[in-house]
Amino acid sequence: MKVAIIHYWLVGMRGGEKVLEAFCQMYPQADLFTHVVSPDSITDEIKAHRIRTSFISRLPQPARWYKRYLPLMPLALEHLDLRGYDLILSSESGPAKGIVPPPGSIHICYCHSPMRYIWNMYHDYRNGGDFFSRIAMPVLSHYMRMWDESSAARVDGFVANSRNVAERIRRYYRREAQVVHPPVDVDAFELAPPQEVGDEYLMVGELVRYKRPDLAVEAFNMSGRRLTVIGGGEMLGELKRLAGPNVTVLGPQPFGVLRHHYARCRALIFPGEEDFGIVPVEAMASGRPVVAFGRGGALETVIDRVTGILFHRQSVESLNAAIDTLDGLSFEPSVLRTHANRFTIGRFKQQMHVAIDRYASLERGVVQNAASMPPEAGLGRAFA
């Protein structure tokens, strides 16, 4: 069986690329298709596969300007020749699912989110962008929405990374989706001895506006508590200028440094609304609680007053009140670690095999109960 994996672009290692790594482990002989690849920015696990790029990679400075080529990506996807592949697995957040599947193939889309910049966060991206974005986005987004909705019909089955995203798929594509939470390498994280846990709070992630790192910095500027910020992105310089003396903005850090801070912080601060959010699970795998904005994927990972605290308005006052509440509670690291074990890589692979088996069986006209079918018995294993 020949397997093709379609991923929007390979220019870094974020949550979507961690999912892609798991797909590569599930299907070690699969070929990868993407718009643009920056080899120095991806892992050996991904580079071990044959990677084919669309014509976007032949345009000027594709690794830097790939987002500006967004209007050309539907055409680029439809030019990909996928004849001979039995299973096509698309990883969707940017344009990836819009390939033309050949007859007889099965096309499963693992959806991190319908494209945020044309759907649920359109006005945020438009108003927060440069002059080009504000002028061009209204016209281009109208065209992209029509293509994105119509291309959903080329998918035999959707798998969403959260109930939150499954609802977006239902709203924008009028399709139902099975939910399989993304994989977290829980075993890569450690619990620190209690005496090493300090009073410093931690924020981790890409420093972009929708994740609201500015809210975290402003809240800690006001409270005087200590905060460490780890991550890179467009807001890095702005946050360094905004940070008070009690806030340390470290920028991007190697994994060893990140793991050390996860295990020894008082708690993780998670102030944005995410599709799912792997970062809170990594913190809980390190035995540390989470203070999270109570919308989006955090509602599926953080249990209020058990594994952390949820706050419900994105304001300095609401965030600081949640931190005050957390300071009055105690959290057992082993309980947090056990909760994080619900999101392991092994669990992800098993559930994805079951989902692929189910959709492949339905497509071939054989109605089966995927919940009772052993993963090793079905087509998902056969493709491996």
Which domains occur in the chain, in start order? Answer: 3-183+345-383 (3.40.50), 186-342 (3.40.50.2000)
Phi, psi for 233 (deg, rounded to 5): 140, 180
* Stretch 56-80: mean pLDDT: 94
The per-residue pLDDT for 365 is: 62
Mean pLDDT of the chain: 92
Degrees, nearest 5: CA angle 366-371-375: 80
| pLDDT, greater one: 15 or 174 | 174
Q: At what angle do helices 278-285 and 333-340 cross, to 10 degrees?
A: 140
Residue 53 has pLDDT above 60, yes or no: yes
Which amino acid belongs to residue 191? Answer: L
Tokens of 161: 């990374």
CA distances from 313 to 27, 68, 198, 340, 381 (A): 42, 33, 27, 25, 44
* Stretch 170-182: mean pLDDT: 96
Condensed to tens digits (0 to 9), the pLDDT of residues 218-248 reads: 999 999 999 999 999 999 999 999 999 999 9
CA distances from 377 to 139, 354, 361, 382 (A): 48, 9, 12, 8
Condensed to tens digits (0 to 9), the pLDDT of residues 247-274 reads: 999 999 999 999 999 999 999 999 999 9
* Stretch 138-166: mean pLDDT: 94
Euclidean distance between CA atoms 361 and 376, whole angstroms: 14
pLDDT class of 370 with cuts at 50, 70, 90:
very low
The per-residue pLDDT for 322 is: 98
Condensed to tens digits (0 to 9), the pLDDT of residues 102-113 reads: 999 999 999 999
Condensed to tens digits (0 to 9), the pLDDT of residues 335-367 reads: 999 999 999 999 999 999 999 999 888 876 643
The closest of 41, 66, 61 to 232, measured between CA atoms, is 41
The per-residue pLDDT for 371 is: 43
In the chain, the percentage of residues whose pLDDT exceeds 90 is 82
Euclidean distance between CA atoms 324 and 309, whole angstroms: 10
Residue 380 has pLDDT above 80, yes or no: no
Max distance between CA atoms of the chain, in angstroms, equals 64
The closest of 277, 332, 240, 352 to 112, measured between CA atoms, is 277
CB burial class (10 A; 0-12, 13-18, 19+) of residue 250? middle
The closest of 209, 211, 210, 215 to 227, measured between CA atoms, is 215
Helix (H, G, I), strand (E, B) or coil at 347: helix
User: Which residue's entry shows tokens 């082993």?
Assistant: 334
pLDDT class of 1 with cuts at 50, 70, 90:
confident
Q: Which residues pair with 88 in a beta bridge?
A: 4, 107
User: Which residue's entry shows tokens 């090493």?
Assistant: 196
The per-residue pLDDT for 69 is: 92
The per-residue pLDDT for 302 is: 97
Cβ atoms 310, 47 nearer than 8 A: no
Name 53's Cβ contacts closer than 8 Å, sequence gap at least 6.
33, 34, 35, 36, 37
The per-residue pLDDT for 364 is: 66
List, in sequence order, every beta strand (DSSP E) within the chain.
Answer: 3-7, 31-34, 51-53, 87-92, 106-111, 157-160, 177-179, 201-204, 227-230, 247-251, 268-270, 290-293, 308-311
Residue 283 has pLDDT above 70, yes or no: yes
The per-residue pLDDT for 50 is: 97
pLDDT class of 138 with cuts at 50, 70, 90:
confident
The per-residue pLDDT for 373 is: 46
Name 234's Cβ contacts closer than 8 Å, sequence gap at least 6.
207, 208, 209
Cβ atoms 277, 297 nearer than 8 A: yes
The per-residue pLDDT for 149 is: 95
Euclidean distance between CA atoms 345 and 180, whole angstroms: 11
Residue 374 has pLDDT above 80, yes or no: no
Q: What is the full DSSP assignment across 38-70?
A: -GGGS-HHHHTS-EEE-GGGGSSSHHHHGGGGG
The per-residue pLDDT for 363 is: 72
pLDDT class of 319 with cuts at 50, 70, 90:
very high
The closest of 89, 70, 103 to 30, measured between CA atoms, is 89
Residue 120 has pLDDT above 70, yes or no: yes
Q: What is the DSSP letter of 37?
A: B
The per-residue pLDDT for 381 is: 54
Residue 377 has pLDDT above 60, yes or no: no
How many other β-carbons are positioned within 10 Å of the β-carbon of residue 195?
6
Residue count of the chain = 384
